[in-house]
Amino acid sequence: MKKKILENIKTIFHALIIALIIRTFLYQPFYIPSSSMEPNLLVGDRLFVSKYTYGYSRHSFPFSLNIISNRFLEKTPKRGDVVVFKTPADNRTDYIKRLIGLPGDTIQFNDGNLYLNNKIISRSKIKNSIYINCGGFNFKADTYTETLPNGKEYVAVYSSSNTMLNTDKFKVPANHYFFMGDNRDCSKDSRFLNSVGYVSFNNLVGKARIIFFSNNISKGNFFQIWKWHKSFRFKRFLKVIE
């Protein structure tokens, strides 16, 4: 009996070690708790983030263990990537946003248009006045396809009436990046220098790759089997993140 218990403990220990290695060096699951990336990521989406895409830093390890000071096996992020990072404010909280500005870039809103290095970001309107979630309320928004200079396309939404029209010019420091939520008027991101601001390369955790599960929590939770047909967003299962 004692031998069987020890064998079970050993099996569990090995499983935990394997899970820890996968989580640290390969893929880590994340949950979307806010609407800042709508309509591309919804509250209740669960996704896998690749930890190897940009190399590894202290934030690749559980609890951001301070065992290394710089990144190793580093690879340069690309404009348009959807990235999980630790906020500079506390180096602990996970945020997920889209990478807009690289080191040395300038970013500015002027008359409601987004400028990158003094050139307007191309966008084409898809829909007028759809309802987009923002925390506990909805607002009317216009939907656009935006195209970055490297050809990366994605969908972004702007409030139909109260969008951010003008900002100061943001200059991205060396070894830092500028992130924005796709839900432009419902996102705390690099535009807010006191809370997020420019994000150090070392703070990047990984690249969002695929939605493996999605549940609309307002229509039922996982344990309410009789509501699965309403709460589970089956069309989002295994959806690649653009």
CB count, 10 Å around CB of 19?
10
What is residue 228's three-state secondary structure? helix
**Could you tell me which residues are beta bridge partners of residue 200?**
176
Q: Name the active-site residue from 36, 60, 187, 190.
A: 36
CA distance 217 to 207: 25
Is 36 designated active site? yes
Residue 10's contacts (CB-CB under 8 Å, 6 or more residues apart) are none
Is 195 designated active site? no
Decide: 58 and 85 in contact? Cβ < 8 Å.
no
CA distance 72 to 128: 45
DSSP sequence for 59-123: GGSGGG--S-SS-BS-----TT-EEEEE-TTTS--EEEEEEEE-TT-EEEEETTEEEETTEEPEE
Q: Name the active-site residue from 57, 60, 86, 97.
A: 97
What's the count of helices (H) and strands (E) in the chain, helices before strands? 2, 15
Catalytic residues: 36, 97
